[in-house]
Amino acid sequence: QSVLTQPPSASGTPGQRVTISCSGSSSNIGTNTVNWYRQFPGTAPQLVIYNINQRPSGVPDRFSGSKSATSASLAISGLQSEDEADYYCASWDDSLKGRVFGTGTKVTVL
């Protein structure tokens, strides 16, 4: 049911850089801003990137976001064990007239 497509998994060793992609269309990412959420097991998602590349207070600068045409990316540099979680992109879809989410990516720290 998810409108935005993400790879199901991504992994890296401590200190490495991991990048997660989010593929959409002209009616969502191509036109509107993108947010990224992190979710630990059994808890609600938390905002880690807003407006494509802005970090909320308290989110380390190891997290960065970008957007190009109808795709967006989240990068985590200097990977740490506490980064192990599920990550979701989100945007607004003008055709569906609603909030849409990505399929989610599980990040594993090896």
Binding residues vs another protein (CB under 8 A): 1-2, 33, 35, 37, 44-47, 50-51, 56, 88, 90, 96-104
CB 64, CB 72: distance < 8 Å: no
Residue nearer to another protein on the CB measure, 73 or 105: 105
Residue nearer to another protein on the CB measure, 15 or 56: 56
Q: How far is the CB of 86 from another protein (least distance, A)?
A: 10
Residue nearer to another protein on the CB measure, 4 or 79: 4
State the Cα torsion 81-86-92-93 to the nearest 10°: 140
Nearest of 85, 110, 88 to residue 99 by alpha carbon: 88
Q: How far is the CB of 54 from another protein (least distance, A)?
A: 9
Listed in sequence order, the residues at least 6 apart from 61 whose beta carbon sits closer than 8 Å to its beta carbon are: 55
Read off the tokens for 1.
């049911």
Q: How far is the CB of 56 from another protein (least distance, A)?
A: 7
